[in-house]
A and B are shown apart, each in its own frame.
Chain A
Amino acid sequence: MKLFTAESARGRGESAGKPSWSQTLIELTRRGPVHVLLIFLAIVWLTPSLGILTTSFRAPADIATSGWWTVFDELGRLSLTNYEDVIADSESAPPGIAQNFLNTIIITVPSTFLPIFLAALAAYGFAWMQFPFRNTLYLLIIGLLIIPLQTTWVPVLRIYNIFDLAGTWPGIWLAHTAYGSSFAVFLLYNFFADLPGEVFDSARVDGASELVIFFRIVLPLSKPALASLAIFQFVWVWNDLLNALIFLQDSNMMPLSAGIRELLGQYGSQWNLLAAGAFISMIVPLTIFFSLQRYFVRGVTAGAVKG
């Protein structure tokens, strides 16, 4: 992302093309309020994150005595010490941020691929196969898209206690698979339904089975949709707090989101550790966002615009 102030200055200069000064002036006064409003909103939206990011590099003594917006007076004292401290500290909020980070990866990777694989199978079935109650079943899945998970907690926990799934990794993987798959079916169905059916037909003439068509034709053709979905589901699971608290229960298995909450509860005032911890929990989603932004946004808009 480029600095918006620099770009906006360029934008204003060029928006009038090469015409005379007076025209430039008229254009500026007419569009001026639009730029002011947009830049104001951009500053408002950036300030909260900027505060925590700046604080994560400041010395605890500076944090205690002055606001993060005075950081320019102390540039020489900024350091990564807070990050070292919060990573080394596994006493205050067990099991520590490093273990939380590892747990988050253990939770997130299977919880991303499992629902997408199962949903892709189902979406192909709904889009290209003929069977009784096909539309009814698909509409049932659509209905489950926005069901509040609150209505499922107690009965699912009962099942988990019976089968000893509470506090296990497969338990959290299954929960995320279930909660993520209806959206995945919906998104992939829309994409699969638009694939060229003639390609499947000629493959069938050549003797390909439905499974071969699915693995060799549908999945490779759907890489953009699968990528959008994978990124969306990955970030969703990475950021999850509630399912981890409900189904993992054991503090040694907790992900970053729960670890940060623990830090906030114990150290409501130790902002050096809190800021560094919060930023550590954001690094992976932010990296994904900046490198794969187009896919991510597509995942969000796909359902809505097409829907």
Chain B
Amino acid sequence: MVGKHSKWLPLLFVGPVLCILVIFLVYPTIHTVLLSFTKGTMLNPGREFVGLANFERLLTADKTFLRLNRWPPSGVLPTTALWVLVFPSLTVGIGMLIAILSDRVRYEATIKSIIFLPMVISSTAASVIFVFVYSPDLTKGVLNAAMTSVFPQSEPITWLGRKELANVAIILAATWTSAGLPTVVLSAAYKGLPREILEAARVDGGNAWQVFWRVSLPMLLRPLTFVTIMLTINALKMVDLILVMTEGGPRGATRVIGFTVWLEIFGNNRVGYGSAVAVILFILVLPAIIYQIRQIRQDLR
């Protein structure tokens, strides 16, 4: 039962949060859409109306944003696609592996803590840690030191300094910081599965592999979708790891779309152009927002 109260009382409860969300999120998003049709600087945003010119330039003329006439395609959008394809699947894969394999070992809590640990430190600290790991100096970088001790002929690699390797290097650092999320979420969901069904599948002669693919996995679909969406959005929004580790370099190779908004607005002071990039980012995230609202609306009923 819901209590009887004055008509205005609910406003006291939900009003403050709604106000602050409208001022800081709803209105600014609308304003940014309007700014994306203009040209301007931080001191003078929206100085000149340019229609769709920003979008046209981004998608057809700006070689740093999208370059399709050479294989493989390069620029911000293809780099973002690489992140979106690799980062969530790698991170969810590792999380799933640990969630399920650690379920029946004695040191389960310990290994889950170890994987979760990097989630509580800042991206800046994580960046410092990985700049050190990737250092080409053999007295600093543990990765190069390990590689040259296994393959004595090989030369140390500047992981963050080479166009074709820098993204992989930062994605691995991002995986290190994020794998705790799928691990704890999938582990909690896995423990919630009805044991009788898993036992029955095993008794019916399914081996561990079959039971996992045919029985466990389908029942874990919702938490799997949730963490995959969250990590995909994190890849799209990514700024801080890239800002601290490479600032988008070498030669623009690690500019993901979220970072590019930062770069255009605060680095290049092109507020209209940066807003157009932000709108494209918003459009990419929109399906996830709609999905989320639908899920919750179902639960409310």
Q: Cβ of B151 < 8 Å from any Cβ of A? A: no
Asked if B24 contacts A63 (CB within 8 A), the reply is: no
Q: Chain A: interface secondary structure?
A: helix
Contact between A286 and B278, CB atoms less than 8 A apart? no
Contact A307 B226 (CB under 8 A): yes
In the bound complex, CA of A210 to CA of B129 (Å) = 50
- Cβ of B297 within 8 Å of any chain A Cβ, yes or no, is yes
Q: Which of A193-223 contact B (CB under 8 A)?
A: 197, 200-201, 204, 209-210, 213-214
The reply on A125 being an interface residue by CB < 8 A is yes
Q: Which residues from B are CB-within-8-Å of A241?
A: 122-124, 240, 243-244
Identify which of A10, A179, A278 gathers the most chain B CB atoms within 10 Å of its CB. A278
Query: What residues of B have a CB within 8 angstroms of the CB of A179 in the complex?
Result: 24-25
Q: Contact at B244–A261, with CB atoms within 8 Å?
A: yes
- Tell me if B's interface is mostly helix, strand, loop or mixed: helix
B107 and A7 within 8 A (CB) = yes
What bracket does the count of chain A residues touching chain B fall in?
35 or more
Shortest Cβ distance from A129 into B: residue: B10
Query: Which of A17-25, A71-79, A88-96, A293-301 contacts its partner?
Result: A293-301
Q: For the complex, is B59 an interface residue (Cβ under 8 Å from A)?
A: no
Q: Assuming the A-B contacts A48-B130, A178-B23, are A67 and B140 also in contact, with contact meaning beta carbons closer than 8 angstroms in the complex?
A: yes
Closest Cβ of chain B: how far from A105's Cβ, in Å?
15
Chain B count of residues within 8 A CB distance of the other chain: 108
The answer, yes or no, to whether B72 is at the interface (CB within 8 Å) is no
Assess whether B117 is in contact with A305, with CB atoms less than 8 Å apart: no
Which residue of chain A lies nearest to B137 when distances are taken between CB atoms in the complex? A269
B residues near A146, Cβ cutoff 8 Å? 230, 233, 285, 288-289, 292
Q: For B295, list chain A residues within 8 Å (CB).
A: 307
Distance, CA A118 to CA B14, complexed state (A): 8
Query: Which residue among A129, A137, A235 has the maximum number of chain B CB atoms within 10 Å of its CB?
Result: A129
Contact B139–A66 (Cβ < 8 Å): yes
- Bound complex: CA of A3 vs CA of B33, how far in Å? 52
The CA-CA distance from A7 to B45 in the complex, in Å, is 60
The interface residues of chain A lying within 8 Å CB-to-CB of B3 are 128-129, 200-201, 204, 210, 213
B2 at the interface (CB under 8 A from A): yes
Within the assembled complex, what's the spacing in Å between the Cα atoms of A239 and B277?
A: 26
A257 contacts which chain B residues (CB < 8 A)?
122-125
Q: Is A87 an interface residue (CB 8 A)?
A: no
Cross-chain pairs A/B with CB under 8 angstroms, 21 sampled: A34-B105, A118-B17, A121-B16, A141-B21, A142-B293, A143-B293, A148-B236, A148-B278, A152-B29, A153-B261, A154-B275, A155-B35, A182-B21, A239-B122, A239-B124, A260-B128, A264-B131, A275-B132, A282-B125, A289-B117, A304-B230
Task: Give the A-binding residues of B (Cβ under 8 A).
Answer: 1-5, 7, 9-14, 16-18, 20-21, 23-29, 31-33, 35, 42, 45, 94, 97-98, 101-102, 105-107, 110-111, 113-125, 127-133, 138-140, 142, 145, 176, 179-181, 184-185, 188-189, 192, 223, 226-227, 230, 233, 236-237, 239-240, 243-244, 258, 261-262, 265-266, 271, 274-275, 277-279, 281-282, 285, 288-289, 292-293, 295-297, 299-300
